[in-house]
Amino acid sequence: MEIIIKGTKIKITPKIKEYIEERIKSTEKYIKTNLPIIVKFEVEKVTEHHNKGNVFRAEANIHLKNKFLRAEATREDIYLAINEVRDRLKEEFRKYKEINIDRKRRNAKL
């Protein structure tokens, strides 16, 4: 799994980069494919308004053979946003896996 990390209005420190890679690589076990998986991960600081405080947005895009998976989260803490994206990716992988299993079962009955 290759992870491409982009930061918008925020500097990606080695600590944040390591945290993202650790969290996203943990989802690799949910998807079984022989093709290389490329994850485009973006972290953005949405606002710097004094009343709202810091708001961070994390987004992950994954292109698979016949499917595009996307997860996005907005939180006050960058680490919470990254964790939420990971959880949403797990759910997307589960749905993708179920769809493929259903297709195989339908074709086997014919």
Domains of the chain: residue spans and CATH: 2-109 (3.30.160.100)
Mean pLDDT of the chain: 87
Q: How many CA atoms lie within 13 A of 46 on its CB side?
A: 15
What is the secondary structure of 61-87 as a DSSP string?
Answer: EEE-SS-EEEEEEEESSHHHHHHHHHH
- For the stretch 18-41, pLDDT in tens is 999 999 998 888 877 778 888 999
pTM beyond 0.95, yes or no: no
Phi-psi region of 64 (alpha: psi -120 to 50; beta: other; left: phi over 0): beta
The pairing of strands 55-63 and 68-75 is: antiparallel
